[in-house]
Amino acid sequence: MFKLSAVVMALLISVTSFAEQKVHKQPEDSILLTVFLKHDQSNSFEEYQQILEEQNFFESFPPEGTSVVNWYVMMGIGQVVTLEVPANKLRDVNLAVEKSAWKAFSNEFYPTYNLYPVFKDKLKNKAKVSY
């Protein structure tokens, strides 16, 4: 039950975090992809940083042609990355994670979308809208 709650909460945070940013025109052939990079808690911070360096994670992720919308730490879970991914780059994201993040993280992928444009004009508290 806790795991399901954490996943639902992370997806809501992801959508909310994206909504709080300036909305730009997302290409029609792209998706938002939320990637959970779940910490292996048997490794220390230094150990998993070393694994990422050795596997060239910082050079490989995110792959060219994709862009980071949001990247944050969910304490007790790991890192949550939301990417804007053109449909033809989905495989590249998967391969980048498989080749450079495994051993340091286990991972989960969730396709998401930006709901903010649907709700932004309906919000009663306009102070929440930053633009």
- Do 50 and 58 form a contact (C-beta atoms < 8 A)? no
The pLDDT of residue 114: 79
Tokens of 106: 């286990």
Tell me the pTM.
0.70
Q: Work out the end-to-end distance of the chain between its first and last CA atoms, rounded to an integer number of angstroms.
A: 37
What is the pLDDT tens value at each position of the chain, 131 positions in all? 555 555 545 555 555 554 445 555 666 688 999 999 998 888 888 999 999 999 999 999 999 999 999 999 999 889 999 999 999 999 999 999 999 999 999 999 999 887 877 887 787 776 655 54
The pLDDT of residue 14: 52
DSSP designation for 78: E
DSSP designation for 38: E
CATH fold for the domain made of 2-128: Alpha-Beta Plaits (3.30.70)
> Domain residues of the chain, as ranges?
2-128
Q: Which residues pair with 31 in a beta bridge?
A: 85
Please give the biggest Cα pair distance in the chain. Answer: 50
d(CA 31, CA 88): 10
The pLDDT of residue 130: 55
φ, ψ of residue 41 to 5 degrees: the values are: -75, 0
Q: Which residues pair with 70 in a beta bridge?
A: 82
